[in-house]
Amino acid sequence: MSEITVRRAGPGDSGAVISLLVALAEYERLTPPDAAGRQRLTEEMSSINPRFEAYLAEFGGRAVGCAVVFETFGSFRAKPKLYIEDLFVLPEDRGRGAGKALFRAMVELARDRGCGAVEWTALDWNTPAHDFYRRMGGRMLDTIKVFQLEL
C-alpha cells in the first residue's frame, strides 16, 4: 500500500507545482497564473535564492498536493514566521492524509528554522479549509483584516 510522502520541490518539479496551483485557482474560483506568471514561477523555482519554496505531497509517485511557503518576520516576537501562501490537495485525492502530511511538514519546517509562528489565510467561504485548519490546531484570528494593494 502506498503512503503519502512530502518533499521539497526542485526546479524539475515546476510543471507539477504549476498544475496544482492551476487546480487550486479553479477550486477557489480565482484566475490561475497566465503564461507569464507560469514562467515567473518556473524561473523562481530555478533561482539560487528563490522567494518561495514549494513542497509536494505524493501518493504512489504522483503529485497530489502542494504547499507554497516563504519566511516573514514578526517584529514583536523578534522571530521569523513561516507563511503558507497555498496549501492544496486535489479533491479526488483528499481523505488519504496528504493535507495533514503537508501541514505537519510545514509546521516541522518552521520549528526547525526557529520560527515563532506559522500563518496562513483561507477564503471566507471555504469552510472545509477552516475546519481542516482547526482540526490541525490552528485558530482563526478575528482581530486582523487582510489588506492588499495590487501593483
pLDDT for res 149: 82
| Every domain of the chain and the residues it spans | 4-135
Q: For the chain, what percentages of helix, strand and coil (3-state, to nearest 5) are there? A: 35, 25, 35
Strand order in the sheet with 79-89: 4-8, 53-59, 62-74, 79-89, 117-120
Tell me which of 1.10.3720.10, 3.40.630.30, 3.30.470.20, 3.40.250.10 is the CATH number of domain 4-135.
Answer: 3.40.630.30
Q: What is the structure's pLDDT at 1?
A: 53
H or E segment at 103?
A: helix 98-112
- Residue 92 in contact with residue 26, Cβ under 8 Å? no
- The series of mean pLDDT values per 10 residues for the chain, 151 residues long, is 90 97 97 97 96 97 98 96 98 96 98 97 94 95 88 93
Rounded CA-CA distance 80/103 in Å is 18
Specify the pLDDT at position 27. Answer: 96
Looking at residue 145, its pLDDT comes to 85
